[in-house]
Amino acid sequence: MESSCIFCKIIAKEIPSTIIKENQSALAIRDIHPKAPTHYLIMPKMHIQSIFHMQDDHQMLVGQVISLARDIAIETEIAGFNLIANNGVSAGQSVMHMHFHFLAGANIYEHGLQL
């Protein structure tokens, strides 16, 4: 736990959030400023700043983050979803605790972005 990290405080239940689902290593909450009809944040419970800071022995942990996204998609019968991680301020990261934006219910490619 990083005492100055807002997501660590959410994980510790010191700050309220709407919890969607969790597993041993990961937590999914509703984004406070949703950008899609379904917008969740899926994060490791351990404080890792971003993918830049991921070490090889975090691979299982990050796998469990992605597994949580899969479980939510299957259990809620979502037809499709995007999983996006902003890494670094220049890529739009504002909360320095690794997280994936789980987006569903709208096509994120309707405004020019092409991947």
Contact status: 93 vs ligand DGP (CB under 6 A): yes
How is the beta sheet containing 26-30 ordered, strand by strand? 19-22, 26-30, 38-44, 100-104, 82-84
Q: What minimum distance in Å lies between the beta carbon of 91 and ligand DGP?
A: 8
Catalytic residue at 99? yes
Provide the strand spans (E) within the chain.
19-22, 26-30, 38-44, 82-84, 100-104
| Catalytic site residue from 39, 58, 97, 99 | 99
CB nearer ligand DGP, residue 80 or residue 92 = 92
Contact 65, 108 (CB under 8 A): no
- Positions touching ligand DGP (CB under 6 A) are 6, 15, 17, 29-33, 41, 86, 92-95
Catalytic residues: 99
